[in-house]
Amino acid sequence: MKYNIAQLAPLWIPVPPRTYGGIELMLSVLVEELVRREYEVSLFASGDSVTKAHLEIMSEKGLWLRRNVRSPHAVIMRMLKAVYDRREEFDLIHNHAEFFMYPLLLGGSSVPILTTMHRPMDDEAAKAALAYPEMNFCAISDDHRARMEAKGVKTVGVVYNGIDTKKYEMGEKPEDYFLYIGRLNEEKGVVDAVKAAQKAGVKLIVAGNIIAGAEWQYFFNDVQPLLNQENIKFVGEVDFGEKVRLMKNAKGMLFPIDRDEPFGLVMVEGMACGTPVIAYRRGSVPEVVDDGKTGFIIEGLDEMVEAMGKISLLKRADCRKRVEENFTLEMMVNEYEKIYKKLIS
């Protein structure tokens, strides 16, 4: 039996993302694979999204791309009401917009709601989750689940994010540079990446974007002055094709995360291109990177410098194999199908 499923996107950027957007990338491949498996899928998202599912347009464009919107959360509240009014049409509602959609439970409904948590759960997020005990929560790594459940939030399962490996070209002969790609904010660790590259005397390409005022202030004050140094090349935001090109040609990817990372999809994308990952031991990193085989899990800036000097010892084919055996789109959707069937039954 194929079910009728509503997928609820965050409205900040389109699905799939044009540049940055791990949640939206994961959601896009999930939706398209469910459609391929002949599910009836309605994607509640922004109008600049592209999908083979039924696109339910909640905003003309992603909210971060609508410069004239002064009350973006008002748009999200309209989405909440739109889904609420149609909730009985679906066999299951899969929420990726986290606490914004919890009030769907307030009116009473026989339709199960699954919320995949995509971000670290702090104390306030945990309190919000605990206020809705009927919600079904899914974590995206074992570490993520353990941290959620330590705060009293029970989960119905863990599903690793997956990618369509066919879209990631393997790079057999890397060029002479390392890569940082991601948000250019403090918790993503871009400053440590630049400082380590400078200390190691290696070339580093920095790609990424900035969202909201606080991030811009951090970028101007702490990041931008470092980008003018020798051997550091800043390329800004890149689209999917350019991202893959940068990944496949990099000697290694730097992931000096300064938070308990729930998953870290960019690590999987890099390894799919054959690129080893050098990452701080935070959150899910030990579940994603096979230390000493598909990258190095390190503690601090000095160890990052040391790891860059050893990157050529790793086999790029092992990185690709790691993804093919653990983090594929098919594996992700198979696991979600099991949860869907359990909740609907």
Q: Tens of pLDDT along 143-162?
A: 999 999 999 999 999 999 99
CB 43 within 8 A of CB 51: yes
Q: Residue ranges per domain, the chain?
A: 4-162+328-344, 165-326
Instruction: Using the CB atoms, write b or e for 291-321: b if 16+ within 10 Å.
Output: eeebbbbbeebebbbebbeebeebebeebbb
Ranges assigned E (strand) in 246-341: 252-255, 277-280, 295-298
Helices (H), 53-139: 72-85, 123-130
Q: What pLDDT was estimated at residue 72?
A: 87
Query: Whole-model pTM?
Result: 0.93
CA–CA gap between residue 225 and residue 254 (Å, rounded): 19
Task: For the domain covering 4-162+328-344, report its CATH number.
Answer: 3.40.50.2000
More confident position, 208 or 109: 208
CA–CA gap between residue 94 and residue 333 (Å, rounded): 13
Task: Report the alpha-carbon angle 221-223-227, nearest 5.
Answer: 125
**Domain 165-326 belongs in CATH node 3.40.640.10:** no
Share of the chain above pLDDT 90, in %: 82
For residues 116-127, average pLDDT? 96
CA–CA gap between residue 116 and residue 52 (Å, rounded): 22
Of 1-5, 172-176, 224-228, where does mean pLDDT reach its minimum? 224-228
Q: What pLDDT was estimated at residue 216?
A: 81
CA–CA gap between residue 3 and residue 115 (Å, rounded): 17
Q: What pLDDT was estimated at residue 114?
A: 98
Phi-psi region of 70 (alpha: psi -120 to 50; beta: other; left: phi over 0): alpha
CA–CA gap between residue 344 and residue 266 (Å, rounded): 32
For residues 196-200, average pLDDT? 95
DSSP string across 217-233: HHIIIIIHHHHTSTTEE
Q: Tens of pLDDT along 212-254?
A: 778 888 888 888 888 888 899 999 889 999 999 999 999 999 9
CB 48 within 8 A of CB 59: no
Q: Is a pLDDT exceeding 90 seen at residue 110?
A: no
Comparing CA positions, the residue from 115, 85, 122, 121 lying closest to residue 100 is 115
CA–CA gap between residue 93 and residue 88 (Å, rounded): 10
What sign does the CA torsion over 129, 70, 27, 293 have?
Answer: negative
Q: Do domains 4-162+328-344 and 165-326 have the same CATH topology?
A: yes
Q: What pLDDT was estimated at residue 304?
A: 97
Say whether 118 sits in a helix, a strand or coil: coil
